[in-house]
Amino acid sequence: MKKSHVSAKKKKTVSSHFNSSFFERDALVKGISFRNKAFGWKKYSFVLTLSKTVATGDKKIVSSSCIFYDNAYMQAFLANFSLRPSCYNCPAKAGKSGSDIMIGDFWGINNIMPDFDDDRGCSLVILNSNRGEAVFSRLNINYKKVLYAEVVSNNSNIEVSVTEPPYRKLFMILFSRFGFKMAHRVLFSKNIIYKVLRCIWLQTCKMP
C-alpha cells in the first residue's frame, strides 16, 4: 500500500524553526511536506510552500526544499531531540494500544521484499483483531503478507520506545531559552567550542 506520511512532531520546535528561518524574510508558510517524495523515498525532501511579498506588493507563491539530511529541523527530529517526552516511554508499544489496525512506515522493505520497493514509500499494516481483518479485506489495495518477525527486525520501535538521547535535555533547555537556531548550532556544530560544551554537559550529567 503506497503511503502518505504523517508524524507527530514537537509543535513549538517546528514553529520556532519556521520563525527563525522564513518569517524574517517576509514569507508566510502556506504548506509543509516533511517527507516529500519528488526525488524518491530514500532521498525524501523537506518542502515548504511559501507566500512571499515581492517589491510590487504582490504575493508570490514559491517553494523551498532540501534533502532531509541537509535540513536543520529534520536533523534534530531524526536525532530524536525534538520528540515529545511520551515517545521515550510509549505505553502503546507491542500491540498494547488496543487498536484493531496499526499503520506505519515499512522501513527495511528493500531488504525484506525488494521487488515491492519502488522508492516511493510503502506502508506497514498490522492487523490486531478479527474486526481489523474484516475491514482490511474490504479494501482494494495492492499488498503482500510478511512475517511479523521480519517486520520487527527492521522496525524495532513497534515493540520498544526510542531511547532518549543524552543531549536531549540540553537541546530543550537551549531551545526554550535561545530558540531553535542556537539549540541546533550547539548540538550539531563541529566547532571545537561547541564540542567542548557538549562534553562538559555530559560530564555534569554524570555527577551525583
pTM of the model: 0.77
Q: Are 110 and 117 in contact (CB under 8 A)?
A: yes
Name the residue with cell 490486531: 128
User: Nearest CA to 31 among 51, 8, 52, 16?
Assistant: 51
Residue-wise pLDDT tens digits, 66-100: 888 899 989 999 999 999 999 999 999 988 888 99
- For residues 108-118, average pLDDT: 90
Residue-wise pLDDT tens digits, 153-164: 999 999 999 999
DSSP labels for 82-117?
SS-GGGGG-TTTTTTT--SEEEEE-TTHHHH-GGG-
- With a CB cutoff of 8 Å and minimum separation 6, the contacts of 15 are none
Share of the chain above pLDDT 70, in %: 85
**Rounded Cα gap, residues 112 and 102, in angstroms:** 19
